[in-house]
Amino acid sequence: MRDRSHPLELLRQAATGRAAAGVRRALVPRGPNLDGPNLGGWARDGLLDLASNDYLGLCGDERLNAAAAEAARVWGTGSTGSRLVTGTTELHARLETALARFTGAAGALVFSSGYLANLTVVTALAAVLGAPNDLLIVSDEGNHASLIDACRLSRARVTVTPHRDPDAVRKVLANRDEAAAIVVSDAVFSVDGALAPVAELHAAARCGGALLVLDEAHAFGVTGPGGRGAAAAAGIAAEPDLIRTVTLSKALAGQGGAVLGAPEVIATLIDTGRGFIFDTGLAPPCAGAALAALEVVEAEPGLGVRARAAATRLAAIAAEENLRVSAPDAAVLAVTVGESARAVRAREICAAYGVRVGCFRPPSVPRGRACLRLTGRASLTEDDFAAAARALAAVRDDDES
Ligand SMILES: Cc1ncc(COP(=O)(O)O)c(C=O)c1O
């Protein structure tokens, strides 16, 4: 037998390599937020949060907390089983009805995460529509990891198209040999915050006889009329060949995900979706909190507008400092700094100025395109913008030194 290093030694070596490449990660626990109700604001550890996905500032909101507590009182902390066995409570049914009504979808199915919703919908549809041999999936190069993993797991042939390029999608669909096809795209891309050309993508998919799966994770609650998302903004929410996924973990400030689509799609997922059938149902406190969050979003349609305005303001601040910043279409923006080590340093500078920002390195972004990821939040104040300006000026100064 060949002499092999011990597997743990191989893991140590790989970690050393990642350290040299500036892509080691560390978990930094946040302190408790005992001074105020909103975990997204100035937290007890003194850092202003410009990194989270709590776009509407609803995390810690008393209405959501109370709904989660009431759900725990009535149903307990867990759903006790998979959705098809004991894991569907009345709360799940109400949440699915509410999500479908709010988004204008024919039906909704709730999952324990947005990641799992993406993984399940693509793999389940692919299996029925002809994977591995007779199905093509067309995927934008900027798609979220959950869609990328879903494509891989589908075993279909996958063609990756350039970022936000419906003409490329059209061509790939027209030239395929496979009978069936699915187009998958983020609606708002998770790193650069750009909006996909949703109407054009849908037209390209329809023209090519394909279904469009649109991940509204960063659009839901933030863009479109009253936060109803990018498809609603494009006027295609009710189209039967459009399937949307949403997460309950970003604008709704909770946990979980959902697929929105035609009855045929929902039935396929219930009967065959492995991530639906073999996963414990969403915990009732999460379902209760999501229902309450949805009520808040409906009652306060200005929240999404404010989150977008906050992102636009942060982008303007970064541009004033001559940083390379994306133009945010929703609440996300990216400041590209290049090498991973520089991104880590820029994040540390921001922290030293009291501001927490995201630091995205490979594999989250391509090599050499590491960035700071900032998010706007509806609850940001003038003091917060001033703090962001001081932090980004320091990043710029460091760049020039
Ligand atoms: C575009 C996109 N889709 C899906 C997900 C996964 O959602 P969740 O965190 O609810 O699993 C994320 C989360 O980061 C995301 O950014």
The residue assigned the tokens 């920002």 is 357
Q: Choose one of 299, 333, 353: the last residue of a domain.
A: 299
- Best mutation site among 110, 144, 286 for ligand 1, i.e. most ligand atoms within 8 A of its Cβ? 144
Counting ligand 1 atoms within 8 A of each CB, the residue from 54, 116, 190, 375 with the most, and so the one to mutate, is 190
Check whether the bond before 166 is cis (ω within 30° of 0).
no
Based on the domain organization, do 310 and 379 belong to the same domain?
yes
Considering the domain boundaries, does residue 8 fall inside one? no
In a domain, 112, yes or no: yes
Domain assignment of residue 268, yes or no: yes
Q: 112 and 219, same structural domain?
A: yes
* Residue 25 binned pLDDT confidence (cut-offs 50, 70, 90): confident
Decide if 254 contacts 283 (C-beta within 8 A): no
Last residue of a domain, one of 299, 321, 347: 299
Question: Cα(277) to centroid of ligand 1, in Å?
Answer: 20
Same domain, 241 and 115: yes
Same domain for 69 and 28:
no
Rounded distance from Cα 216 to ligand 1 centre (Å): 9
Task: Say how many C-beta atoms besides its own lie within 10 A of residue 274's C-beta.
Answer: 15
Q: Are the CB atoms for 302 and 310 separated by under 8 Å? A: no
Choose among 243, 247, 266, 244: nearest CA to 256: 247
Q: How far is the CA of 190 from the centre of ligand 1 (A)?
A: 8
* Residue 34 binned pLDDT confidence (cut-offs 50, 70, 90): low
Please check whether residues 283 and 391 belong to one and the same domain.
no
CA distance 212 to 203: 9
Q: Do the beta carbons of residue 236 and residue 242 sit within 8 Å?
A: yes
CA distance 173 to 207: 9
CA dihedral for 64, 65, 70, 73, sign (positive or negative):
positive
In the predicted structure, residue 322 carries a pLDDT above the cut 50: yes
Q: Are the beta carbons of 129 and 182 closer than 8 angstroms?
A: yes
For the CA of 189, the closest atom of ligand 1 is 1
Residue where one domain finishes, among candidates 272, 299, 326: 299
Distance from the alpha carbon of residue 146 to the mean position of ligand 1, in angstroms: 7
Domain identity same for 154 and 255:
yes
Cα of 5 from ligand 1 centre, angstroms = 37
Residue 394, domain member (yes or no):
yes
In this prediction, residue 400 carries a pLDDT of 78
The domain that holds 384 is classified in CATH as: 3.90.1150.10
- For the cut 50, the answer to whether the pLDDT of residue 41 exceeds it is no
Site to probe by mutation for ligand 1, drawn from 115, 195, 223, 373 as the one with most ligand atoms within 8 Å of Cβ, is 115
- Report which secondary-structure segment, H or E, holds 162: none
Nearest-atom number in ligand 1 for the CA of 249 is 10
E-strand ranges in 175-215 read 180-186, 211-215
Confidence check: pLDDT of 332 > 70: yes
| Averaged pLDDT for residues 43-47 | 63
Q: What is the pLDDT of residue 39?
A: 45
Residue 49 pairs in a beta bridge with: 356
Check whether residue 67 and residue 199 sit in a common domain.
yes
For residue range 252-280, list pLDDT tens digits in order: 999 999 999 999 999 999 999 999 999 99
Tell me the per-residue pLDDT of 199-245, one tens digit each, with 9 for 90 and over. Answer: 999 999 999 999 999 999 999 999 999 999 999 999 999 999 999 99
Three-class SS state of 107: strand
Is residue 99 domain-shared with residue 177, that is, in the same domain? Answer: yes
Containing H/E element for 268?
helix 263-272
Q: Which domain holds residue 306?
A: 24-53+301-400
The CA distance from 34 to 55, in Å, is 21
Distance 97 CA to ligand 1 centre (A): 22
CATH code for the domain of 260: 3.40.640.10
Give the tokens for residue 62: 């008393």
Same domain? 249 vs 102? yes
Q: Is residue 13 part of a domain?
A: no
Look at residues 188, 290, 169, 166 and name the one whose alpha carbon lies nearest to residue 232: 188
- DSSP letters of 22-66? T------PPPP--S-S-TTSS-TTS-EE-SSS-TTS-TT-HHHHH
Same domain, 107 and 31: no
Q: Mean pLDDT, to the nearest integer, of 165-194?
A: 97
For ligand 1, pick from 249, 260, 360, 373 the residue to mutate: most ligand atoms within 8 Å of CB.
249
Report DSSP letters for 306-320, one per residue: HHHHHHHHHHHHHHH
Atom of ligand 1 nearest to the CA of 118: 4
Q: Does residue 9 form part of some domain?
A: no
Q: Are 261 and 207 found together in one domain? A: yes
Say how many Å lie between the CA of residue 79 and the centre of ligand 1: 22
**Binding-site residues, ligand 1, Cβ < 6 A:** 113-115, 118, 144, 146, 186, 190, 215, 217-218, 247, 249, 257
Q: Are residues 188 and 121 in the same domain?
A: yes
Mean pLDDT over 380-388 rounds to 96
Domain-located, residue 189: yes
> So what's the pLDDT on residue 344?
93
Total tally of structural domains belonging to the chain: 2
CA distance 278 to 259: 16
> Confidence band (pLDDT; 50, 70, 90) for 30?
confident
User: What are the tokens at 247?
Assistant: 């997460």
Global confidence as pTM? 0.95
Any domain includes 11: no
Question: Which residue do the tokens 């750009």 mark?
Answer: 194
**Helices (H), ranges, 130-197:** 145-154, 166-174
Q: How far is the CA of 217 from the centre of ligand 1 (A)?
A: 6
Q: Which two tokens stand for residue 59?
A: 């995390």
- The Å distance, Cα 191 to ligand 1 centre, comes to 11
- Distance between CA atoms of 96 and 201, rounded to whole angstroms? 26
